Amino acid sequence: MLTLTQVKNKSAARLTGLLPVVAAAAERLTERTYKRGVPIVITQGLRTIAEQDKLYAQGRTTAGSIVTNAKGGYSYHNFGVAIDFALLSADGKEVYWDTKRDGNANKVADWAEVVDEAKRLGFAWGGDWTSFKDYPHFEMTFGLTTAQLRAGIRPTAAQIAAAMAHITKEDSYIVKAEDANDLIKRYLQPAWAACKQKGDAAGMQEAHRLANELRKASGQKEQ
Ligand SMILES: [Zn+2]
């Protein structure tokens, strides 16, 4: 039986390069599903545009079968806002894509338990798509299309702050102090400064409140 740390270590490399709030949500998802007796592994995170192009070529201009309909820049993976997962056996030696598997024997498919937790954390699920269902896929798009992302548009500090606050609220675990401080530094301090410049007192207060929520959740003193 793997410990939570061992399970998280299996996915750690895949979280690199993700938008920090998406990485935090993926980490929480791994913790929360583990608590349910459903260990998971994140199999895919950020995919560079070159990697996506290579994947798109597979089954078209290179050997193998077609695995994606998205060219480079047309997948949310290319912008660090999507993850794919698979189920893990208790000893971590087997990986499953069986959506009916019930490893924790609670008569609910493990896959559905993972989807349930992911949605609560604010992810949208590829299995809900009508045209091409992508069961291992979760994304947090902040209402942006890949066209907007290709054009360089990114989620606003307010959107990130709201998503972060949601994750913190949903999370019964203590957030790591370094993660909390990283998120504060990257998003909430710039959001606060931007509000200050606009003379938006309510915005400043909200950014301050969210930063303190994160500090509290990570066992630090409020400021
Ligand atoms: Zn995916």
Percentage of the chain exceeding pLDDT 90: 65
- 79-114 per-position pLDDT tens digit: 999 999 999 999 999 999 999 999 999 999 999 999
Residues constituting the chain: 223
Let me know: does 87 contact 101? Beta carbons within 8 Å: yes
Ligand 1: centre distance to CA 82 (Å): 6
Sorting pLDDT into bands at 50, 70 and 90, what band is 171? low
- Flag whether pLDDT at 139 surpasses 90: yes
Ligand 1: centre distance to CA 26 (Å): 13
CA distance 215 to 221: 6
Ligand 1: centre distance to CA 31 (Å): 20
Ligand 1: centre distance to CA 77 (Å): 6
Per-residue pLDDT, averaged over 142-146, amounts to: 96
Provide the residue ranges of all domains of the chain, joining segments of one domain with +: 4-150, 157-217
Let me know: does 156 contact 14? Beta carbons within 8 Å: no
**pLDDT at residue 177 in the model:** 80
- Flag whether pLDDT at 19 surpasses 60: yes
Ligand 1: centre distance to CA 177 (Å): 29
CATH classification (class only), 4-150: alpha beta
Ligand 1: centre distance to CA 223 (Å): 39
Sorting pLDDT into bands at 50, 70 and 90, what band is 146? very high
- 176-221 per-position pLDDT tens digit: 788 788 888 888 898 899 889 999 898 899 889 888 888 887 778 8
- Flag whether pLDDT at 122 surpasses 90: yes
Residues 6+ apart with CB under 8 A from 158: 191, 203
Ligand 1: centre distance to CA 212 (Å): 33
How far CA 82 is from CA of 4, 8, 46, in Å, comes to 22, 17, 7
Strands 124-125 and 95-96: unpaired
Quote the pTM value. Answer: 0.79
Ligand 1: centre distance to CA 122 (Å): 16
Ligand 1: centre distance to CA 142 (Å): 16
Ligand 1: centre distance to CA 135 (Å): 8
